[in-house]
Amino acid sequence: MEKIIIKTPEQIEGIRKSCRLAAQTLDYAEQLVEAGVTTEFIDDKIEEFILSHNAIPAPKGYHGFPKSSCISPNNVICHGIPSKDTVLKEGDIVNIDITTILGGFYGDTSRMFTVGNVSPLADKLIDTTLHCLDLGIEQVVPGNRLGNIGFVINRYAKAKGFSVVYEFCGHGVGIEFHEEPQVDHASRRNTGPKMKQGMIFTIEPMINQGRPKADVDKKDGWTARTTDNKLSAQFEHSILVTNTGYEVLTDIHNDYPIT
């Protein structure tokens, strides 16, 4: 059964605006990342920024999530809950994941940030994860199968000595927070549905230094950590399938060609 929404030009324009705001929110958040600040402080400022742009932070209240963004340091894979008890320190790596609702449309993006100087291994993990996202994006073209995204991501991460988280995936986005299709980051070549013009989905690889397995905190029900407490990194973009390739809707720095 086909439930992947093909967006209309009007919907695409609305989602493009929301995606732009989500990316601008990450630019804003970047300046807040420094040793000594709590992730709750960063989240408060993010919430204020999004609300002041006439938008709503999608995470707040989503299946009971208590905060406006996900902030995931070091061994946290994803869904880190901003907290007054989580104080960033020199050498930390941290993912901030922003989802905005603007005019009813969703934009979803995340990036890694570093606190001061980080270890060469942390640097390598971050560079590898960003390259995994880029390789995945290059697979976006009408007619290609979704599984090829996870195929190239997994092949590259493994070649670098890292592992791909398989318990959390990318997803259709725009009209709802999480739509079909599911976008796996480790998958078999030429499997899955074919990409079509007008689809919008995220690619958001989570790459682990050690074992790929995630362990969700039993107390808070959200925080997903590596089981070996080694590092994890993630980058996320929301991507439109165009007639000839892709448009990275959450890229405001023109890092990607529009194909």
Name the residues that contact ligand MF3, by CB under 6 A: 59, 62-63, 65, 70, 79, 97, 99, 108, 202, 204, 236
- Quote the least distance from Cβ 108 to ligand MF3, whole Å: 5
- Quote the least distance from Cβ 244 to ligand MF3, whole Å: 26
Nearer to Co ion among residue 97 and residue 134 (C-beta): 97
Nearer to ligand MF3 among residue 92 and residue 108 (C-beta): 108
Nearer to ligand MF3 among residue 98 and residue 125 (C-beta): 98
- Quote the least distance from Cβ 171 to ligand MF3, whole Å: 6
Nearer to ligand MF3 among residue 59 and residue 147 (C-beta): 59
Nearer to ligand MF3 among residue 87 and residue 101 (C-beta): 101
Q: Which residue is nearest to ligand MF3 (CB)?
A: 59
- Quote the least distance from Cβ 99 to ligand MF3, whole Å: 5
- Quote the least distance from Cβ 259 to ligand MF3, whole Å: 23
Nearer to ligand MF3 among residue 36 and residue 62 (C-beta): 62
- Quote the least distance from Cβ 65 to ligand MF3, whole Å: 3
Binds 50: which of Co ion, ligand MF3, none (CB < 5-8 Å by kind): none
202 binds Co ion (CB under 5 A): yes
114/221 Cα distance (integer angstroms): 26
108 binds Co ion (CB under 5 A): yes
Binds 59: which of Co ion, ligand MF3, none (CB < 5-8 Å by kind): ligand MF3
**Residue 174 C-alpha from the chain's centroid:** 14
201/4 Cα distance (integer angstroms): 10
Binds 68: which of ligand MF3, Co ion, none (CB < 5-8 Å by kind): none
Residue type, 55: A
Dump the DSSP string for the chain.
---PPPPPHHHHHHHHHHHHHHHHHHHHHHTT--TT-BHHHHHHHHHHHHHHTT-EETTTTGGG--SSSEEEETTEEE-PPP-TT-B--TT-EEEEEEEEEETTEEEEEEEEEE-SS--HHHHHHHHHHHHHHHHHHHT--TTSBTHHHHHHHHHHHHHTT-EE--SS-EEE-SSSSSEEEEE-SS--TT-SPBP-TT-EEEE--EEESS---EEE-TTTS--EEETT---EEE-BEEEEE-SSSEEETT--S--S---
- Quote the least distance from Cβ 161 to Co ion, whole Å: 26
Nearer to ligand MF3 among residue 50 and residue 90 (C-beta): 50
Burial class (CB in 10 A: 0-12, 13-18, 19+), 155: middle
Residues that bind Co ion (CB under 5 A): 97, 108, 110, 202, 236
